[in-house]
Amino acid sequence: VEEIDVSNTADSSTTTTRKANGNSSSSCAQTQQEINTLIAKQNDGTATLKLLPDIFLCQQNIQNETHARESMAHELIHAIDMCRTKMDPINNCIHMACTEIRAENLAGECHWLRELQRGRMGTN
């Protein structure tokens, strides 16, 4: 059984496939047909699909259901950024800033009422 990693990479032409020989090429599945093919391989038992990086939400840090939903949306936006672009936020602070601003904006974390609730906006 081959292990297919459908996670983020810099090259967008293929999907990472790890076989016994350890060779791999990388990218995210881009089309519905590619996704359907990967799901079919998993369903017939010839492959195992993995999506990395994993996203973990720690119960002790989640305040409520809305916070959990926004946190998940935020992290999924990072995953999309990493999959669809040649972004390297670990080694490039401009990439990190870009993906953080994008994730916070699209996940709803930049709403003025939220900033007021967090005490980051004065009412004076």
- Please report which helix (H) or strand (E) contains residue 44, including its range: none
Query: For this structure, is 75 an active site residue?
Result: yes
Q: How far apart are CA 96 and CA 84, in angstroms?
A: 15
- Tokens 């999924």 sit at which residue? 76
Given the residues 75, 100, 104, 109, select the one marked as catalytic: 75
Instruction: Please answer whether residues 47 and 1 qualify as being in contact, where contact means their C-beta atoms are separated by less than 8 angstroms.
Output: yes
The torsion angles phi and psi of 106, rounded to 5 degrees, stand at -75, -25
User: Which active-site residues does the annotation give?
Assistant: 75
